[in-house]
Structure 1
């Protein structure tokens, strides 16, 4: 695969063209990645300012005390959505629910380690650890493409 990036100051918005011999799995993955790169959620800072937060920057969403937060490498934003809404919104964007209160971006996972009581621990790109509860281990494994118990 070859990749070309050309800047053009006259464009009103970014354009992406994919040229391929056939529309195979690789092309479908590229289309999915490009589409997810522009997906945003509106986050609220502590100051009350609202900002767009790109899903590709979100490491995980966490529900705490009836609030949902989007956690990135550098900030935490309050999101005015329920976990069910978030789960539906990010279902096809490399996110998977790992507990009742956390939905993780599987692209941010750097290491998977076993934990006690049939749980898993995930090391994220930020250096933070999150736990996959035992009720969500199989969902996580499916989400990363692992079949079965191994």
Structure 2
């Protein structure tokens, strides 16, 4: 893929993107979806009676329990007023992928992982937290790690 950026102070438009391709491919589709998706800068969580502003990059994983969704960051757990699938969609291009039916993890916070005898992975985060990746999602996690974690450049 070739990327050309033209910075011109005479340009009237704020920003314009043109994609030139021989045919419509999966890569083009992913690029279009990435450009359309808005990136959240912060996520609001609730802890006791306070609303807490979180940076998604500092969150180890999100998990669902008892019909509630929580964020785990540096060993602290805070409740969110969102659904797990909404978080997964919103943060998919920031290094968050599904670990299991009830967990979405941040692969950019992974320190190391160990393979369990039953085919699951035990993921250890830089904060010291750990979570399990079910067999169904192990291959996707490995692929994301091999691609370098973040599916976009900063």
Cα distance, 1:142 vs structure 2: 2.1
Counterpart of 1:44?
Answer: 46
Cα distance, 1:127 vs structure 2: 1.5
Aligned equivalents of 1:143, 1:64: Cα separation in 2: 26
Q: Aligned-pair RMSD on alpha carbons? A: 2.1
The structure 1 segments of at least 4 consecutive aligned residues displaced by more than 2 Å after TM superposition are none
Q: Is the 2:39–2:90 contact (alpha carbons within 8 Å) kept by the matching residues of 1?
A: no
TM value normalised by structure 2: 0.66
Counterpart of 1:144?
Answer: 145
Q: Is the 1:37–1:54 contact (alpha carbons within 8 Å) kept by the matching residues of 2?
A: no
Q: Does 1:58 align with 2:59?
A: yes
Aligned length: 111
TM value normalised by structure 1: 0.68
Cα distance, 1:74 vs structure 2: 4.8
Counterpart of 1:130?
Answer: 131
Structure with higher RCO (Cα < 8 A, 6+ apart)? 2
Q: Is the 1:61–1:103 contact (alpha carbons within 8 Å) kept by the matching residues of 2?
A: yes
Aligned equivalents of 1:44, 1:74: Cα separation in 2: 15
Cα distance, 1:37 vs structure 2: 9.5
Aligned equivalents of 1:142, 1:40: Cα separation in 2: 27
Aligned equivalents of 1:139, 1:72: Cα separation in 2: 23
Aligned equivalents of 1:104, 1:72: Cα separation in 2: 11
1:91 partner SS:
helix
CA change 1:93–1:99 in 2 (3 A) is: same
Q: Which residues of 2 match residues 1-150 of structure 1 at below 5 A? A: 39-45=41-47, 47-145=48-146
Q: Is the 1:38–1:54 contact (alpha carbons within 8 Å) kept by the matching residues of 2?
A: no
Q: Is the 2:75–2:128 contact (alpha carbons within 8 Å) kept by the matching residues of 1?
A: no
Q: Structure 1 unaligned segments of length 5 or more: list them.
A: 1-35
